[in-house]
Amino acid sequence: MIPLFNLNAQHQQLQPRLNEVLQQVVRDGQFILGPNVKALEREVAIACECSHAVGVASGTDALRLALAAVGVGVGDEVITTPFTFIATASVILRAGAVPVFVDVDPTTLNLDSSAVASAITPRTKAIIVVHLYGNPAEMESLSDVAKKHGLALIEDCAQAFGAEYRGKRVGSIGSVGCLSFYPTKNLGGVGDGGMVVTNEPTIADRVDQLRRQGSRVRYIAEEVGFNSRLDELQAAVLRVKLEHIDGWQERRRQIASRYSEAFRSSRSVAVPLTHAPDSKPVFHLYTVKSQARAELQRRLRDAGVETGVYYPQALHLQPAFRQYLARPLPVAEDAQDTVLSLPMFPELTDAEIGFVIDSVLDISR
């Protein structure tokens, strides 16, 4: 079976080095906000072309603390995409704010900026844009909308670490970027982890304060905060992996272009497309669209190819969120029924890629 993703090959390669750094952390005995977290924050800030980076406990918390740091609170509206992972929208409700779902672009499945513009009300405070599957959203028009209306623009970069939009790294374009180091993400730890990146020192400061119980001076709380820190063991592992990330991203792009080349002439699967001609996706997932998805998925499984559906139900239709449905969102609703993600990880061999391609083409012939 060719899996959708597989971390074993990567970890086998890195095992000796990982053992070393993990043992070092235990020997040093500094487990919270120690030297590895500080170093990783510097390294990730550079990789994201941001002046500041603050390590937190997860990607979800990165979003939660970013929302608090830009001042989103009770009664505010936050415009976002319905075609994303649950966390993008649950943090809005956790802040006491209201998620306003608008439809996505049919080509990229990322937020449609004209839909965003027409959903703005006097209560709108922020936009959360997701770079879905590692493909940068149309940041130019979204930044224009945000600027024009004085809104915070939060980038959910959980799937897009290192991706570039018109020569700029994602996370550095809006007010603040949120990263996840969940193990299967392009840069993943061996447990939960996340980071907030920004070029605005006041946002970085506020997130730093929030992650440590709202306190700057020990045992004195300036505000009600959270316990949300990236731990030293994760940071040590992530620093090892960060040294390899550029090669891995390049390999993902290679695999994606082999897939796209092969499927371009197929009439039954549609390949993913990017909008900005000079953007550089990082293919967290390689996702095609098929009008006969259930059958394609079943037959691929029978042939020995694992696939996944990201995501099977748009958020505005889910029990937790559907009371916030303002109108039907046909593009997202079509996407939930047609998207299918194929195996994608840097260690896929050329032979395995060929096997996936042949299997898809055989079935769709």
Ligand X SMILES: *Cc1c(COP(=O)(O)O)cnc(C)c1O
Q: Which of residues 136-175 bind ligand X (CB under 6 A)?
A: 156, 158-159
| Residue 87 binds ligand X, judged by CB under 6 A | yes
Identity (one letter) of the amino acid at 270? Answer: A
* Closer by beta carbon to ligand X, 87 or else 363: 87
Q: Tell which residue, 167, 158, 160, 154, has the closest CA to residue 203.
A: 154
Please, how many CA atoms are within 13 Å of residue 12, restricted to the half-sphere of its CB?
5
Q: Which stretch binds ligand X (CB under 6 A): 80-88, 229-237, 248-256, 328-336?
A: 80-88
* Closer by beta carbon to ligand X, 102 or else 360: 102
| Residue 84 binds ligand X, judged by CB under 6 A | yes
Could you give the CA distance from residue 65 to residue 346 in angstroms, rounded to a whole number?
31
Q: Tell which residue, 58, 42, 48, has the closest CA to residue 245.
A: 48
Contact letters for ligand X, residues 239-268 (x by CB under 6 A):
------------------------------
Q: Which neighbouring-strand residues pair with 269?
A: 290
| Residue 53 binds ligand X, judged by CB under 6 A | no
Q: Distances from the Cα of 180 to the Cαs of 128, 166, 321, in angstroms?
A: 15, 23, 22
To ligand X, the closest distance from the beta carbon of 58 in angstroms equals 4
Q: Which stretch binds ligand X (CB under 6 A): 79-87, 210-218, 243-251, 328-336?
A: 79-87
Q: Which of residues 201-240 bind ligand X (CB under 6 A)?
A: none
Q: Kindly state the helix (H) or strand (E) to which residue 61 belongs, with its residue range.
A: helix 59-69
Among 194, 272, 308, 346, binds ligand X (CB under 6 A): 194
Please list, in sequence order, all residues whose beta carbon lies within 8 angstroms of the beta carbon of residue 250, skipping any fewer than 6 positions away.
none
- Tell me which residue has its CB nearest to ligand X: 59
To ligand X, the closest distance from the beta carbon of 110 in angstroms equals 11
Among 21, 47, 60, 89, binds ligand X (CB under 6 A): 60
To ligand X, the closest distance from the beta carbon of 264 in angstroms equals 27
Among 5, 161, 165, 182, binds ligand X (CB under 6 A): 182
User: Is beta strand 152-156 parallel, antiparallel or unpaired with respect to 176-180?
Assistant: parallel
* Closer by beta carbon to ligand X, 88 or else 297: 88
| Residue 180 binds ligand X, judged by CB under 6 A | yes
| Residue 85 binds ligand X, judged by CB under 6 A | yes
**Three-state secondary structure of 255-319:** HHHHHHHHHCCCCCEECCCCCCCCCECCCCCEEEEECCHHHHHHHHHHHCECCECCCCCCHHHCC
| Residue 58 binds ligand X, judged by CB under 6 A | yes
Q: Tell which residue, 19, 176, 30, 158, has the closest CA to residue 87.
A: 158
User: Strands, DSSP E only, in 86-242?
Assistant: 98-101, 124-130, 152-156, 164-165, 168-169, 176-180, 194-198
Q: Which residues form the interface with ligand X (CB under 6 A)?
A: 58-60, 84-85, 87-88, 130, 156, 158-159, 180, 182, 192, 194
